[in-house]
Amino acid sequence: MNNVLCTICARGGSKGVKNKNIKLLAGKPLIAYSIEQAKASGLFDHIVISTDSDAIAQIAGEYGAEVFFKRSAELASDTAAKLDVIRDAFQRSESHYENIYDYLVDLDATSPLRSVRDIKDSFKQFIKNGNDNLISATPSRRSPYFNLVELAEDGTVSLSKHLANTVVRRQDSPKCYDLNASIYIWKRDVILNAKSLFLKETGLYLMPAERSMDIDSPLDLKVVEFIMRNSKCSEIK
């Protein structure tokens, strides 16, 4: 059996939605969905929460996650890099559990629509392809080659990316994907040493749009709750 650690990072200082990670969503705290999905996957012996919030820690513990440290103020700031936060949780967990983990799976607390199958299948794909790390994404509705533009300092508007031949239909442009901030997977030596999310052997796990919403605003919260209350898929309720 693979030796895999799960982390869920959830700081208390959310700006877009106050107390976002413990906001009730369809009758349950937001962070609870990721915890329950991780437990149901059967991949992990430990599901570790990285947080600076006592309230988040208490609720996460009630749903079966483990909180044995409080994240530092530096790593809980608006400018802290997610990669540094995940690495910190991984290193603390190895020390706390006195175990060397082969792999790390990080589930974003703000992406409750992922399914348990997504967690299992992304890890299966990661192992099969021998990736160094893996990120999840969904096909993009907009393209930097067709309808994503940039505004220069001089006021010039131009496409974000250019091709030798002009694209007249979005369908003819290179395929692009939106990172959905849902699932991140790492080999041990990679998470301990990586400087970037994008590496030579980075894998991409594709998820449909209906399971790819990342809650970052009050509108996102309402849309996700609507999807949950109207979905027939028990895995994402």
Alpha-carbon span 62 to 229, nearest angstrom: 23
Q: How far apart are CA 42 and CA 124, in angstroms?
A: 13
- 147 and 164 fall within a common domain: yes
On whether both 86 and 20 belong to a single domain, the answer is: yes
Active-site choice (114, 141, 169, 188): 169
Same domain, 91 and 30: yes
Chain-centroid distance, C-alpha 188: 18
215 and 170 housed in the same domain: no
Of the residues 128, 158, 175, the one at which a domain ends: 175
Find the helix packing angle between 30-41 and 116-129, rounded to 10°. 50
For residues 12 and 125, state if they share a domain.
yes
Q: 102 and 63 in one domain?
A: yes
Low-confidence ranges of the chain (pLDDT < 70): 1-2, 232-237
| Shared domain check, 184 and 97 | yes
Q: Are residues 118 and 12 in the same domain?
A: yes
pLDDT tens column, 208-234: 999 999 999 999 999 999 999 887 544
Residues 101 and 189 placed together within one structural domain of the fold: yes
> What confidence score (pLDDT) does residue 233 get?
47
Task: Give the chain's domain count.
Answer: 2
Q: Tens digits of per-residue pLDDT, 27-47? A: 999 999 999 999 999 999 999
Task: Indicate if 12 and 77 belong to the same structural domain.
Answer: yes
How high is the pLDDT of residue 237? Answer: 41
Report the predicted TM-score, pTM, of the whole model to 2 decimal places.
0.91
Among the candidates 159, 175, 191, a domain finishes at 175
**Same domain for 106 and 194?**
yes
- Give the phi and the psi of residue 173 in degrees, each rounded to 5: -80, 160
> Which residue among 154, 175, 196 closes a domain?
175
- Contact, 82 vs 9, CB < 8 A? yes
Which structural domain range is residue 27 located in? 4-138+177-236
Query: Same domain for 122 and 181?
Result: yes
Annotated catalytic residue 114:
no
CATH of the domain at 189: 3.90.550.10
For residue 174, what pLDDT is reported?
Answer: 85
Percent with pLDDT over 90 in the chain: 80
